[in-house]
Chains A and B, each alone.
Chain A
Amino acid sequence: MKSSSPHGPSADPETRLLTDKLWDAVVRADEYAATELVLGALDGGAPAESVLLDVIAAVQGRVGEEWAANRLSVAQEHAATAINERAVTALSLHDAARTEVTRGRLTVACADGEWHALPARLLAEVLKLRGWKVDYLGAQVPTPHLITHLHRSDADAVALSGSIATRLPTAHAAITACQAVGVPVLAGGAAFGADGRYARLLGANAWAPDARAAADRLAAGPLPRPRPDHQAIDDLPHLADQEYTIVARSRSALVRTVLAGLEEAVPEMRGYSDLQREHTAEDLAHIVDFLATALYLGDGELFVGFIGWTAGILAARGVPARSLSPALGILSDELKDFPRAVDFLARGTDAVSSFHRTTAGKNA
């Protein structure tokens, strides 16, 4: 039941009630009800930070979970997020959110290709409430824009948000570029791992598990200054084997080959419509993207975790998880000259079979 409860253990009944009401409004895509709820709570004296993090963020977390469980469509997820965004805007204009700047200047941004802006937006609002001057650059900020902004704005630090693991190589480029101009980076968001391992691996100066912790960390004192002699390649010496580069570069060719191989191996695929074929190709492209990211980070667990998650998503949509195995097999044959990739794919295949065993056991 853990996944269906958006409340932290400390949420009081009032917050719970508000969260449930906001959830209803957001799912109905009723922005007026949503903003009225948020503004009403502020009028009633609820602390703005708590409304942001214990209510709006909690509802957004539930949106993601419900989507994964196939109880919300992608479009509904977008609609819900848009409503939540409007609720945040309404909150930021309320008197309760008016704060004086008492601290330094920070930049909050998402790396290029990262479309999930809400976590960064929530952090930006929390930091404003805590007295920082915040430049919020929004979703998918190309690294050159971020650096231009830093040259102009003497920020004390950059808070970089990432939700999608496959954007980590890009996030690494952004972290490195910020540090090269002398600005330390605090990384946060689901992409950096539940324990922040990828934030450390990619050389971020600090990591925080959530917006509150990020704000606390930034308040605790300046982040360590980037070392000027640091070279990004030192963090990831395994990149020397070129496996990441080659897999990432030949993404389309790999997807094409695996798709053709699957049509040969799985007879029912030959009857697929163009649209079904394209969806399959998209799923395969995702697998290749995660494999490439795992190769970049030198962490097979990332790939295994993704395969397990995909198996769950497929199962929720009535597709048997074992259909993943032939795809991983063909990919492994294609990449037989790349020992790290072959190892990750083998571990992914194991994860599929064990997922299949457990779900089969449950159904029996």
Chain B
Amino acid sequence: MLRNDAAARLLPAADPGTRLTDAAPVWLSAAHTAARTAVRLPGPRTADAPATPAFGEVGERSFEAHPSPRDDGSIVWWLVDDTDHRVVRSALTKERERTAFLTQASNSLLSSLNLGRCMDVTAQMAAEQLADAALVIAPARRRRLPVVSCLRGQSPVQFEQQVDPDGVPGLGEALRGFPPVPSRWIDPASAPEWMVPDGFGPVGSIVITPLPGHGVPAGALILLRRSESTAFTEGEEVFARLFAARAGAAMSAARLYAEQSSITEILMRELLPPTLQQTRGVDFAGGYQPSQDHERIGGDFYDVHPALSDDEASLVALGDVCGKGLEAAVLTGKIRNTLHALLPMADDHQRVISLLNTAMLNSHHTRYATLVLASVLRRGSDVKLRLTSAGHPSPLIIRTGGTVESADTSGTVVGVLPKAPARSTDVVLAPGESCVLYTDGITEGKGGPLGDARFGEARLRRALAECAGMPSEGIVERIQMLADQWVGQGSHDDMAVVVISAPRTHHLSAVDGHTRGRFTA
């Protein structure tokens, strides 16, 4: 064996003449034996085919060994130090894994605006990548801390913990969110029992990391490792903070969304169409479809104001404010309130309409509305109706035999001219007969099999003729379905329908949530 000076420094035992097996590490001498065998093998060999290098460690450093066979059968080994290269590569791999993890975390967290699910995802991902178990704690609700805990490989568990966060070192500060505090190591012995998931075993290390939110505290992340696991390195801690930043942003977005949507819901509740049922011996059913899928309210409205006694008439109002969407919906709310206030004079439709007209002219809204009023009174087994249209499509009456009549009432729209004259009509419904109030969204919808026809009143009448004797909800559903299918994927205006029916059989009351149906005959 021969060597140069560099080799002498690397392998001090490799004096010239010693055997390679005595002087070099096992991996190198094994590679040498293999290379020698290859050289001796008969057969064609391309001279410049690069021989495969061997890899291994000498002392604390790692090397790449390239053999180059010489004509005399001996082999020169070129040793290249690749320690730094390997360190860099393993760091790169680790960074890539972390980036992939953070990307995945962002994707999963961004997809949900629900606080509970964000906490689930955070706990589960942290338990898979950062620790043996993880807890996510949201700021207290009514003195209770919402907690999600997750053991590696298991599903997250949600619970609420009644505890003073300041009783746990580091937790109070982390949950306050400001001033910013670093992650804090706590003595595993001082951790309260609820912090350690069932079946976790002895705790090796615990770190509490604050979850930074959008100016509001989002919560805290607690990571637990078992005794046998290594404690957190500095790099891991930095990584945990990056993850915590994402989780905190997602959780505070979810909280903001929940607050906003609950405000919207409370404000919108008053604008939603009411659920109708049998009232004072008359069947009512209503259906509403706003023009835009993402909205639940629009420019159409209806209400049934039940009479206070059996001798008085109930008032039904159905109308359409010009325009659609939220702004129109706000005006429907005002009209509905005004009509409610005018209930004491509900017998006089013209007076109600005139007062509403004045109120709308005097308001700052420039919109106008059409509406139809119906006073409904049960008399024996019949239902007496007084109908008044103010610029609205005439109500349609479905008679027992399947004839469909248009109610003879007309008037001008409300909110445009100083006066709004309207002509009322009286109609009697025999048992099983119905009166249909609808907005023009139903008849104006464009579509059909050929795509360009309006649904129109003729089609509506034809459909209603088939509905003779049907229960009121059935008629509403049928009209809504036909109008919706007619329009298909196309756009449509708001659509509202109310059906008033005289019950078919002689009953005092039906199932209205409190009483059972009872026969009078």
Central interface residue in A151, A180, A251, A255, by most chain B CB within 10 Å:
A151
Between A and B, 27 residue pairs with Cβ closer than 8 Å are A31-B471, A31-B510, A31-B517, A32-B519, A36-B517, A79-B470, A79-B474, A83-B471, A86-B511, A89-B511, A90-B511, A144-B294, A145-B294, A151-B114, A152-B261, A154-B115, A154-B116, A182-B120, A183-B117, A228-B111, A229-B104, A251-B451, A255-B451, A256-B451, A275-B462, A281-B450, A282-B448
CA distance A341 to B88 in the complex (A): 56
A82 and B477 in contact (CB under 8 A), knowing A142-B293, A228-B108, A285-B449?
yes
Interface residues on chain B, size class: 35 or more
Q: Encode A123-160 as 1/0 by CB contact (under 8 A) with B.
A: 00000000000000000101111001011111000000
- Does B504 make an interface contact (CB < 8 A)? yes
B485 to chain A, nearest CB (A): 8
Interface residues on chain A, size class: 35 or more
Query: Of B111, B469, B471, B510, which contacts A181 at CB under 8 A?
Result: B111
A152 touches B258 (CB 8 A): yes
B117 touches A32 (CB 8 A): no
A32 touches B257 (CB 8 A): no
A75 and B511 in contact (CB under 8 A), knowing A252-B452, A255-B450?
no
Interface residues of A in 226-269 (CB under 8 A from B): 228-229, 251-253, 255-256, 259
Nearest chain B residue, comparing its CB with the CB of A32: B517
B504 touches A29 (CB 8 A): yes
A75 and B108 in contact (CB under 8 A), knowing A32-B507, A35-B510, A145-B294?
no
Interface residues of B (CB under 8 A from A): 104, 107-108, 111-117, 120-121, 155, 254, 257-258, 261-262, 293-294, 296, 448-452, 462, 466-471, 473-475, 477-478, 481, 484-485, 504-505, 507, 510-511, 513, 516-517, 519
Interface residues of A (CB under 8 A from B): 29-32, 35-36, 39, 73-75, 78-79, 81-83, 85-86, 89-90, 93, 112-113, 115, 140, 142-145, 148, 150-154, 180-183, 222, 228-229, 251-253, 255-256, 259, 275, 278, 281-282, 284-285
The residues of A that contact B448 with a CB separation of less than 8 Å are 278, 281-282
CA distance A252 to B254 in the complex (A): 43
CA distance A149 to B269 in the complex (A): 15
B510 touches A32 (CB 8 A): yes
Query: Of A82, A180, A222, which contacts B471 at CB under 8 A?
Result: A82
The residues of A that contact B485 with a CB separation of less than 8 Å are 113
The residues of B that contact A256 with a CB separation of less than 8 Å are 450-451
The residues of B that contact A251 with a CB separation of less than 8 Å are 451
The residues of A that contact B115 with a CB separation of less than 8 Å are 154
CA distance A256 to B449 in the complex (A): 8
B107 touches A228 (CB 8 A): yes
Known A36-B517, A181-B111, A282-B448; further 17 A-B contacts with Cβ < 8 A: A31-B517, A32-B505, A32-B510, A35-B516, A78-B478, A79-B471, A83-B471, A143-B293, A151-B113, A151-B257, A154-B116, A181-B114, A182-B108, A252-B450, A252-B452, A281-B449, A282-B449
A29 and B471 in contact (CB under 8 A), knowing A115-B477, A151-B257, A278-B449?
yes
B471 touches A228 (CB 8 A): no
A73 touches B466 (CB 8 A): yes
Query: Of B114, B449, B467, which contacts A75 at CB under 8 A?
Result: B467
The residues of B that contact A154 with a CB separation of less than 8 Å are 114-117
B112 touches A75 (CB 8 A): no
A151 and B261 in contact (CB under 8 A), knowing A79-B471, A82-B474, A251-B451?
yes
B114 touches A144 (CB 8 A): no
B251 to chain A, nearest CB (A): 13
A284 touches B510 (CB 8 A): no
Query: Of A29, A82, A145, A255, which contacts B449 at CB under 8 A?
Result: A255
A74 touches B261 (CB 8 A): no
A180 and B516 in contact (CB under 8 A), knowing A29-B469, A112-B293, A145-B296?
no
A353 to chain B, nearest CB (A): 25
The residues of A that contact B475 with a CB separation of less than 8 Å are 78
The residues of B that contact A182 with a CB separation of less than 8 Å are 108, 111-112, 114, 117, 120-121
The residues of B that contact A281 with a CB separation of less than 8 Å are 448-450
A30 touches B505 (CB 8 A): yes
CA distance A112 to B186 in the complex (A): 52
B450 touches A151 (CB 8 A): no
The residues of B that contact A89 with a CB separation of less than 8 Å are 511
A282 to chain B, nearest CB (A): 5
B463 to chain A, nearest CB (A): 9
The residues of B that contact A151 with a CB separation of less than 8 Å are 112-114, 254, 257, 261
A81 to chain B, nearest CB (A): 7
The residues of B that contact A229 with a CB separation of less than 8 Å are 104, 107
